């Protein structure tokens, strides 16, 4: 691949809309006859084309009649039956100028007919005039739009021929003109994973899940002589799709979509061009198509040949590719929306016709996983523990030394420098993965840059720390505390935002509750130690009658609380490790 409330993908194609132009002026659709409505054509046409004769001579007029259930738009052409991809032939004459109009496709004037408005109609009559250079066989084609998302493309009509010519080649029968008329059957039960890794190449998420469960995404390939039988299922009431790719980025890929259109699953091939709407093919080479919708699980299966040289954009299945698997929502008319989650992507190149495998995949790229893991290590463990040590363990460890410095200071400095190192490495990883700035990550990257700046500024400021009794030491202490506190608050907010980005997308609502639990855990420990320190101060004030000796008594009282603080610190560190391990396990599983 953000919810269906977003603007939907722009449909990348060279045609224009039939109903999108209510006045019917759709010359841009002359070649493909495909309306750009962000949906795919229906399978079985409901409308028919009839003519009043089967033979013609140059200059003859043939009556053409399009009829069927209510429809809003239409587009009629006549083409060379032996070369349907060539331009329209002949010209038309209108029978009703209120409901139909003439269009010029290519260099032939009045070579197509379309609607004049969206008013519903059930039949249209026009007249076709045969040109002097007419081909031997001519076939009438029509695109019919029932409503914006429901339409049929190139409905095949009768073939008319010039007299004394050979019969129409069977190659150009109805099935050729209307390739979507392949029979579709219904799947009776969930798919089986028993042959995965034996005779089937399978991808399952979660790993080793049962395709019959309501939480399992399943994709299998089984070679049968010169073709491959493909099964796909998963929890989706919108669409499921997979694609073969030469890399781990969308663009230039061979895609296959199973789309729920008003409780009827349409299976289509498509080309993916970068991050734009998939260009659904009006013609595909899929056979033995079947589908099933049950208990929120969408299933579809089909067969395709290993090599399809006649179909542009279809990859040879005897090569190795990265495989994408994705799900998303679709409207009632079959319009698909951009997927909310990152696609499931295999961790390497695989040949689905080679040695069978039973593998999983990941919805988060490794660099993004590393980014999240390092940030969690830095801001859940090293920073939090370092702050607690500096805030409450100066009196406890003031007489212990390490490498010539007080122990608390050395521990604090080591933890903070580790934080700087981990944050710096983690900060670079998304830029390496994206190849630059991400425009789709919201406020997360902006706050991340602020955290990185504060993380670098904090140790630089500490390097210019005044001596303990210098007049500016108190000012430094306030700046040092406020910078560190701001960085920690921003880091927590940034992690909250980052956990739900598509590139990582930790499980909801578990990730939010876990992060709230960590914040409560840290604040609770901080408050507990503050209360403990306050009680020690009050105890010192009560013990000493001589107010001059309060500072000395305070130091003595702090020493008495050493055991309590060490116990709290031990429990706090263990708790932080538990939170960290939980987050790391979640990252590993996405």
On whether the CB atoms of residues 278 and 269 are closer than 8 A, the answer is: no
On whether the CB atoms of residues 507 and 215 are closer than 8 A, the answer is: no
Task: From 417, 578, 444, select the one nearest 499 (Cα to Cα).
Answer: 444
Report whether pLDDT(475) > 80.
Answer: yes
The residue-averaged pLDDT of 121-133 equals 93
Identify the residue with better confidence: 13 or 232: 232
Burial of 182 (0-12, 13-18, 19+ CB in 10 A): middle
Give the least confident one: 18-27, 47-56, 95-104. Answer: 18-27
On whether the CB atoms of residues 287 and 182 are closer than 8 A, the answer is: yes
- Rounded Cα distance between 280 and 264, Å, is 17
pLDDT at residue number 37: 62
Identify the residue with better confidence: 20 or 435: 435
Q: Highest-confidence range of 362-366, 390-394, 399-403, by mean pLDDT? A: 390-394
Domains, the chain, in order of start with CATH, read 27-161 (2.60.40.4060), 185-362 (2.60.40), 366-589 (1.20.120)
Sign of CA dihedral 549, 551, 553, 556: negative
Q: Terminus-to-terminus CA distance in the chain, angstroms?
A: 16
pLDDT in tens, 230-279: 999 999 888 999 999 998 887 889 999 998 877 788 888 888 776 667 77
- Rounded Cα distance between 498 and 488, Å, is 15
Instruction: Write the DSSP string, 252-306.
Output: SEEEEEEEESSS-EEEEEEEE-TTSBPEE-SS---EEEEEEEETTEEEEEEEEES
Residue 435 gets the label, from left (phi > 0), alpha (psi -120 to 50) or beta, of left
Instruction: Write the DSSP string, 395-444.
Output: TTSTT-EETTEEHHHHHHHHHHHHHHHHHHHHHHHHHHHHTS--SSSTTH
Q: Highest-confidence range of 191-195, 399-403, 405-409, 461-465, by mean pLDDT? A: 191-195
pLDDT in tens, 179-220: 434 556 788 888 999 999 999 999 998 888 999 888 899 999
pLDDT at residue number 184: 66
pLDDT at residue number 264: 82
On whether the CB atoms of residues 111 and 88 are closer than 8 A, the answer is: yes
The residue-averaged pLDDT of 524-533 equals 89
Report whether pLDDT(221) > 80.
Answer: yes
On whether the CB atoms of residues 160 and 138 are closer than 8 A, the answer is: yes
pLDDT at residue number 167: 57
pLDDT in tens, 140-164: 999 999 887 788 888 989 999 998 7
pLDDT at residue number 241: 94
Kindly state the percentage of the chain with pLDDT values over 90. 43
pLDDT at residue number 281: 75
pTM of the model: 0.58
On whether the CB atoms of residues 587 and 392 are closer than 8 A, the answer is: no
The residue-averaged pLDDT of 577-586 equals 88
Kindly state the percentage of the chain with pLDDT values over 70. 86
Report whether pLDDT(63) > 90.
Answer: yes
If you ran DSSP here, which 8-state letter would residue 7 be given?
Answer: P
Give the least confident one: 93-102, 155-164, 542-551. Answer: 542-551
Give the model's confidence band at 88: pLDDT under 50 very low, under 70 low, under 90 confident, else very high: very high
Give the model's confidence band at 284: pLDDT under 50 very low, under 70 low, under 90 confident, else very high: confident
Residue 542 gets the label, from left (phi > 0), alpha (psi -120 to 50) or beta, of alpha
């Amino acid at each position: 691949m953000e919810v269906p409330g977003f603007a939907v993908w722009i449909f990348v194609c060279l045609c224009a809309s039939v109903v999108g132009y209510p006045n019917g002026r759709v010359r841009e659709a002359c070649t493909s006859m495909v309306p750009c409505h962000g949906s795919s054509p229906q399978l079985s046409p409901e409308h028919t084309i009839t003519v009043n004769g089967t033979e013609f001579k140059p200059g003859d007029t043939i009556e053409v009649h399009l009829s069927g259930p209510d429809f809003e738009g239409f587009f009629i052409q006549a083409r060379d039956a032996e070369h349907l991809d060539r331009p329209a032939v002949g010209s038309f004459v209108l029978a009703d100028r209120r409901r139909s109009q003439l269009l010029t496709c290519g260099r032939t004037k009045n070579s197509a007919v379309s609607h004049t408005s969206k008013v519903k109609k059930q039949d249209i009559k026009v007249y076709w005039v045969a040109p002097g250079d007419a081909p031997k066989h001519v076939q009438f084609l029509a695109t019919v739009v029932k409503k914006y998302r429901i339409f049929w493309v190139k409905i095949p009509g009768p073939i008319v021929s010039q007299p004394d010519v050979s019969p129409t080649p069977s190659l150009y029968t109805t099935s050729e003109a209307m390739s979507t008329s392949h029979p579709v059957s219904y799947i009776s039960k969930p798919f089986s994973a028993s042959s995965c890794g034996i005779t089937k190449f399978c991808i399952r998420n979660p790993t080793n899940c049962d395709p019959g469960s309501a939480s399992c995404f399943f994709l299998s390939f089984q070679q049968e002589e010169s073709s491959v039988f493909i099964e796909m299922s998963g929890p989706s009431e919108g669409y499921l799709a997979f694609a073969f790719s030469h890399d781990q980025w969308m663009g230039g890929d061979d895609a296959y979509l199973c789309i729920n259109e008003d409780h009827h699953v349409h299976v289509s091939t498509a080309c993916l061009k970068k991050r734009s709407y998939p260009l659904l093919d009006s013609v595909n080479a899929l056979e033995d198509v079947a589908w099933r919708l049950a208990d929120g699980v969408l299933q579809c299966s089909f067969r395709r040949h290993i090599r399809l040289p006649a179909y542009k954009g279809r990859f040879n299945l005897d090569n190795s590719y990265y495989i994408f698997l994705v799900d998303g929502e679709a409207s009632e008319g079959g319009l698909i929306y951009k997927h909310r989650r990152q696609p499931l992507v295999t961790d390497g190149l695989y040949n689905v016709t080679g040695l069978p495998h039973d593998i999983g995949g990941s919805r988060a790229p490794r660099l993004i996983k590393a980014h999240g893991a390092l940030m969690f290590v830095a801001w859940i463990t090293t920073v939090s523990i370092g702050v607690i040590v500096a805030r409450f363990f100066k009196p406890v460890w003031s007489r212990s030394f390490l490498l010539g410095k007080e122990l608390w200071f050395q521990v604090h400095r080591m933890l903070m420098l580790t934080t700087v190192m981990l944050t710096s490495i983690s900060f670079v990883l998304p830029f390496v993965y994206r190849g630059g700035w991400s425009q789709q990550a919201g406020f997360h990257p902006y706050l991340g840059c602020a955290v990185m700046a504060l993380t670098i500024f904090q140790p630089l400021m500490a390097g210019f720390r005044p001596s303990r009794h210098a007049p500016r030491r108190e000012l430094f202490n306030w700046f040092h505390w406020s910078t560190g506190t701001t960085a920690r608050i921003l880091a927590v907010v940034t992690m909250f935002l980052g956990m739900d980005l598509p590139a990582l997308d930790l499980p909801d609502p578990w990730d939010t509750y876990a992060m709230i639990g960590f914040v409560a855990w840290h604040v609770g420990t901080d408050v507990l130690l503050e209360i403990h320190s306050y009680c020690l101060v009050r105890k010192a004030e009560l013990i000493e009658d001589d107010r001059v000796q309060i500072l000395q008594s305070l130091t003595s009282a702090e020493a008495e609380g050493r055991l309590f603080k060490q116990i709290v610190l031990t429990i706090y560190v263990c708790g932080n490790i538990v939170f960290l391990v939980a987050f790391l396990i979640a990252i590993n599983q996405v």
